[in-house]
Amino acid sequence: MPSRTQLIFILGALTAFGPFSTDMYLPSFTVLARDMNASQAAVQATLSAFLIGLAAGQLVLGPLSDRFGRRLPLTAGIVLYIAAALACAFAPNIETLWVARFFQSLGVCAMIVVSRATVRDFYSGAEGAHFLSMLMLVLGLAPMVGPPVGAFILEAYGWRGIFLLHAVLGTLALVMVVLVFPESLSKQRRARGGILRILAGYVTLLKDRHYIVPTIAGDLVFAGLFAFLAGGPFVLASVYGLEPQHFAFVFSFNAFGFLLGTQINARLVRRYGPARMLSVGLSLYALAAIALLFNALTGFGGLAGIVMPLFLLFLSVGAAPANALALAQEHYPHMAGSAAALFGSIQFGIGAISGILVGLLHDGTAVPMAAIIVTAAAVALTVNLVLTPKEARRA
């Protein structure tokens, strides 16, 4: 059995495949559009296809991990990830890339769901939120490292080299899982039943305000993140003239805000509880969104007027979702995989919609991206303030 520190590293590394698989190829968007003779919207659709796969796949992989344990679905998912990454690297056209990215995301689903469910297998409550925040410390390194590495690979080997690197990293993850990943769900605790039992479990989760309120509030924070992932590369390139390498450094600076948010939350959540820290994170998210929209509309602050609110936005993404997930999973240790899966499915479903809207509304400015982020922030804050059960506010 790995130590707590080793478990944080293992689960963090597996969860990091999500941002690695998105952030690393963001600097290549403009080059990819040119090489594939594709429109901006078509290139952004590769990200949306990935997010749709993350949203749909988790609904299947969560119950599978409750039924068959954590190791089997995880191992199969990593093998699929490697194969799909190779398909991306050798894709002859944008349509093939869409399909390959979709299947690549299914592999990431297994890593995300199993990692989150494993945390709930061992921890709950404030301790679970603290562990998730520490997990995000490892996760936070991915968006800091991903874009600069992607920009380097892009310049040296082209965009296809980025996906070849994905395949190499997936192979390393497979070796790590085979050698050291613990099976945290004993046979006695595994779920029984077929599709009807799975559907009944999801209905139970959706009907419970203790689960669905923090899930919706926490997942809406990711709408801002994915709006930036979809629109940021084009906004920063077309409006502010940033080269891919410069975009990578801007992204890494904002990712440091994410890292800072995880550690502030880890230090405070044991004292104040996940419910109060979630409210603080959502409030910060709303303030950052308002500042971003104001600066996008007026041009105030130039590039810094966009980057600094994004820094605060990323800080809130580092703080709020860990608390939301801990609150959502608190009452469901017997179906941690399904609870984590539904949380992630809604999260990436919202992210996919956000990314699609940014592409459809793109007008050459940062305004559509900022407007989508403000809308998500307003809904998240309202849901948390109005619908959270009274007894849950003290958690």
Which residue type is seen at 21?
A: S
pLDDT on residue 163: 94
pLDDT on residue 208: 87
Residue 303: both structure tokens together: 């590039």
Give the separation between CA 294 and CA 44, rounded to whole angstroms. 25
110: in domain: yes
Question: What are the CA-CA distances from residue 44 to residues 79, 93, 231, 313 (Å)?
Answer: 26, 14, 8, 21
Tell me what the pLDDT averaged over the chain comes to: 83
pLDDT on residue 1: 64
Give the separation between CA 44 and CA 375, rounded to whole angstroms. 21
Look at 129-143, 171-185, 230-244 and tell me which has the smallest mean pLDDT: 129-143
186: in domain: no
185: in domain: no
64: in domain: yes
What 8-state DSSP symbol labels residue 343? H
pLDDT at 322 over 60: yes
Burial of 378 (0-12, 13-18, 19+ CB in 10 A): middle
301: in domain: yes
Please give the tally of structural domains in the chain: 1
**Side-chain half-sphere exposure of 32, counting CA atoms within 13 A:** 34
Return left, alpha or beta for 24; rule: phi > 0 is left, psi -120 to 50 is alpha, else beta: alpha
Give the separation between CA 317 and CA 301, rounded to whole angstroms. 23
60: in domain: yes
The band of 134, judged by pLDDT with boundaries at 50, 70 and 90, is confident
Give the separation between CA 98 and CA 107, rounded to whole angstroms. 15
pLDDT > 70 fraction of the chain, expressed in percent and rounded: 92
Q: pTM to 2 decimals?
A: 0.72
The domain that holds 125 is classified in CATH as 1.20.1250.20
Containing structural domain, residue 386: 4-179+193-394
| 279-297 average pLDDT score | 93
188: in domain: no
H/E run at residue 215: helix 209-238
Give the separation between CA 366 and CA 368, rounded to whole angstroms. 6
Give the Cβ contact number of residue 367 at 10 Å: 16
pLDDT at 395 over 60: no
Look at 55-59, 84-88, 277-281 and tell me which has the smallest mean pLDDT: 55-59
Give the separation between CA 311 and CA 233, rounded to whole angstroms. 16
Residue 266: both structure tokens together: 């880890």
pLDDT on residue 256: 83
pLDDT on residue 137: 67
pLDDT on residue 245: 65
pLDDT on residue 285: 93
| 144-159 average pLDDT score | 82
Question: What are the CA-CA distances from residue 225 to residues 118, 168, 206, 298, 314 (Å)?
Answer: 25, 26, 24, 22, 7
| 320-328 average pLDDT score | 85
- The answer to whether the beta carbons of residues 32 and 43 sit under 8 Å apart is yes
The band of 335, judged by pLDDT with boundaries at 50, 70 and 90, is confident
pLDDT at 154 over 90: no
Give the separation between CA 74 and CA 60, rounded to whole angstroms. 13
353: in domain: yes
pLDDT on residue 122: 77
